[in-house]
Amino acid sequence: MITSMQPSWSAARLDYALATSRAENRAALGLYLPVGYPSRIASLDALHLMARHADILELGIPHTDPHLDGPVIQLANAQALDAGFEMIDLFTAATQLTASSTTAIVVMSYWAPIARFGPKLFAERLAVAGGAGVFIPDLPEHAAATWHSAAQEEGLYTIPLIPAHASNARLTEIGAGSSGMVYAPATPGRSGSRRPLSPYLPRLVRRLRTATGLPVAVGIGISTPDHAARASRYADAVVVGSAVIRRMTTWRNAPDLAAGQVAMTFADGVRRASSSAR
């Protein structure tokens, strides 16, 4: 775990979200949406409604090759790019959401868009906009030092995706370069899976927490409110993405209202777990 970094005021919002949900004996609810999907205006409207129910909003940066994601998020990325997404849209969304809610803002991005924009400038702009940290599932080893330097200078957290079968030594190594929280897959494979949660997930969460000393978020496969309720009993956060987008595609005339409705059902799910010991 990175110990030398002084978290920014915006990073402290993530700490607060995790501490508040822990005090309520549940996991924090994280909701993911690519910025600009299905359009700039609809995306912002949806995110504002989602913020009413989410502890954490994960703003996705659309990318031409979202290779770790399933077809639902891939299509949403493509639509956002076709609609004209630009990086300024991310900073605008983060600024508006930070000003209008207490929800913590985390960015999910592949490395390529950040590298093209410039890691130092990206970190600077995101910190000013109110971002707490960045989840980079494919951060390459050769770029890690550059990114960590930029993020630490701005007080941003760096959130990794943890391989489910990593050794304890590898988990400790990953944790040493991580901050804020770590991210574990709830099911094998790419995002959007509708398979049952892995029976080994509770053990994986315990291993990650012990090895890294950080809160553990689970995502990639949280497809129903029941999944969220079950994972909330042992994880520090649950993150939902494809399920939000699926609902939005069925309400084409009001995708923002669909996002708000599904956010509410998943919020009910994580709070359902608060009556059980975690």
Active site residues: 58, 69
* Structure-token pair, residue 230: 């079950």
Nearest to 174 by CA among 208, 204, 123: 208
Gyration radius from the chain CA atoms: 17
Helices (H), 83-167: 87-100, 111-117, 119-129, 141-154
Q: Give the integer Cα–Cα distance in Å for 119 and 204.
A: 31
The CA distance from 150 to 181, in Å, is: 18
Distances (CA, A) of 134 to 95, 105, 179, 221, 253: 15, 9, 10, 20, 32
